[in-house]
């Protein structure tokens, strides 16, 4: 006789399922908030070290290795924040606020190496050293000067101030914000009058290279913004950027990709003249143009501006990029990269990662199928070397 569940049994099962879901909804935000709190505490510790040691700024300005070590500390904090997915609204707003503080900290560390070369000028003609970059009108990082010419780092909670007439946001776009949940940006408008005079940006090549020699490494027609980004990423001045340097500059200027996605970029775009773990100027230019093209494609199919696209839109986006995949492959991609658990949408960062994998594997397969027959004969060793880099990235 087939077992039939009674109404009380069905009700009890439903209550148990709802309670399990209630526990998940309650414990996950608390876990995420603890991670964010630990990141905030670590950031405050780093800020305290910068604020209490007046000689540290000079050390960071002169020693690129020390500067890179401090920048990696900020990158580690960004990776912890990036690991939080599918967040509760309260957790998402807290993560956004802390992420902005960490990025400001990283930009301050990067500016230490250029502080002696990029002065601010008062209307009276007196020159001041480079102020650290910020993201809003309330500076998270400011500098104070003394009679001896020593400039001290001051976190946002200290009493540090910026000299009157000095523009602390000379190289940061002005974005007005309002207080409240997540500091929602308003429509862009002109900056205040005290920020009207913007000093011209000046960039300097690594030691041992003239500016002409450094620019000559890039192909003709390379956009100045791309050259500027590569200079900022190449902290050690080696002429090539590694995984950490690439992830740092993309997090600051484009999108906070996962480490796996950045490794895939290096694997697919590395120059023949460099080892596969580093990008030269030509490879970086190609990668940046490709990312911009994929970003435009994603936005064109993200009609509601939610930051994600569904399965039919994913198919059309892939086709517009010249990537044709079967419905079975699309379902597999959506199942693997949909972080909501509903198998219904894919976010921008995951769209880039799955696109890199499909595009890279397709290009590798075409090498063994030059006549585009859809079939190829390949030995075991070549197959493993073709697929494994995309799995272990």
- CB-based burial label for 370 (10 Å; 0-12, 13-18, 19+): exposed
| Ranges assigned E (strand) in 255-359 | 308-309, 346-347
The predicted-structure confidence for 94-119, as pLDDT tens digits, reads as follows: 888 888 888 888 777 777 766 543 33
Residues 178 and 305 both lie in one domain: no
Q: Is 283 found in the same domain as 141?
A: no
Same domain, 285 and 366: yes
pLDDT digits (tens, 9 = 90+) for 66-91: 887 888 888 888 878 877 765 677 77
172 within 8 A of 104, measured Cβ to Cβ: no
Mean pLDDT over 156-166 rounds to: 39
| Domain count within the chain | 2
Identify whether 198 is part of a domain.
no
Is residue 115 in some structural domain?
yes
Spatial neighbors of 331 by CB under 8 A, at least 6 apart, are: 311
Please indicate, yes or no, whether residues 23 and 172 belong to a single structural domain of this protein.
Answer: yes
C-alpha span between 242 and 163 (Å, rounded): 37
- Domain CATH code at residue 89: 1.20.58.120
Distance, in Å, from the CA atom of 57 to the CA atom of 160, rounded to the nearest integer, reads 15
Instruction: Give the CATH number for residue 313.
Output: 1.10.238.10
- Residue 297 domain boundaries: 226-391
Give domain status of residue 353, yes or no.
yes
Q: Domain check: are 164 and 248 in the same one?
A: no
Q: Is residue 111 part of a domain?
A: yes
DSSP for 112-153 reads HTTTTTS-EE-TTS-EEPPPPP-SSSS-SEEEEE-TT--EEE
The string over 174-194, giving b where at least 16 C-beta atoms fall within 10 Å of a residue's C-beta and e elsewhere, is: ebeeeeeeeeeeeeeeebeee
Q: Is residue 367 part of a domain?
A: yes
- What are the tens digits of pLDDT across the range 115-138? 543 332 333 343 333 434 433 334
43/173 same-domain check? yes
Q: How confident is the model at residue 297 (pLDDT cuts 50, 70, 90)?
A: very high
Q: Are residues 294 and 186 in the same domain?
A: no
β strands within 104-191, DSSP E: 120-121, 127-128, 141-145, 151-155
Do the domain assignments include residue 2? Answer: no
Residue 205 lies in a domain: no
Q: Are residues 148 and 253 in the same domain?
A: no
């Amino acid at each position: 006789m087939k077992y039939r569940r009674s109404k009380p049994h069905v009700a009890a099962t439903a209550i148990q399922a709802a309670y399990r879901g209630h526990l998940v909804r309650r414990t996950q935000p608390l876990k995420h908030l603890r991670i964010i709190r630990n990141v905030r505490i670590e950031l405050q510790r780093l800020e305290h070290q910068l604020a209490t040691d007046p000689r540290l700024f000079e050390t960071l300005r002169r020693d690129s290795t020390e500067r890179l070590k401090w920048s990696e500390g900020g990158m580690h904090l960004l990776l912890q924040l990036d690991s939080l997915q599918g967040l509760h609204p309260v957790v998402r707003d807290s993560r956004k606020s802390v992420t902005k503080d960490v990025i400001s900290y990283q930009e301050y560390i990067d500016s230490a190496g250029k502080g002696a070369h990029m002065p601010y000028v008062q209307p009276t003609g007196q020159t001041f050293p480079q102020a650290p970059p910020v993201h809003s009108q309330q500076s998270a990082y400011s500098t104070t000067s003394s009679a001896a010419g020593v400039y001290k780092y001051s976190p946002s909670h200290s009493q540090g101030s910026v000299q009157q007439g000095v523009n602390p946001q000379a190289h940061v776009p002005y974005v007005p914000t309002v207080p409240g949940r997540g500091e929602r940006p308003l429509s862009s408008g002109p900056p205040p009058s005290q920020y009207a005079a913007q000093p011209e940006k000046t960039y300097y090549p690594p030691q041992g290279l003239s500016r002409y020699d450094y620019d000559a490494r890039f192909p003709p027609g390379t956009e100045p913004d791309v050259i500027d980004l590569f200079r900022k990423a190449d902290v050690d001045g080696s002429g090539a950027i590694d995984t950490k340097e690439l992830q740092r500059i993309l997090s600051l200027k484009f999108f906070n990709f996962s480490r796996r996605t950045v490794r895939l970029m290096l694997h697919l775009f590395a120059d023949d003249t460099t080892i596969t773990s580093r990008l030269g100027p030509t490879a970086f230019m190609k990668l940046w143009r490709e990312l911009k093209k994929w970003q435009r494609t994603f936005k064109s199919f993200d009609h509601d501006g939610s930051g994600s696209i569904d399965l039919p839109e994913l198919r059309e986006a892939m086709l517009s990029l010249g990537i044709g995949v079967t419905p079975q492959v699309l379902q597999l991609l959506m199942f693997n990269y949909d972080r909501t658990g509903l198998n219904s949408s894919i976010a921008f960062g995951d769209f880039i990662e799955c696109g890199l994998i499909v595009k890279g594997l397709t290009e590798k397969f075409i090498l063994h199928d030059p006549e585009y027959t859809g079939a190829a004969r390949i030995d075991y060793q070549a197959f493993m070397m073709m697929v494994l880099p995309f799995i272990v990235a």
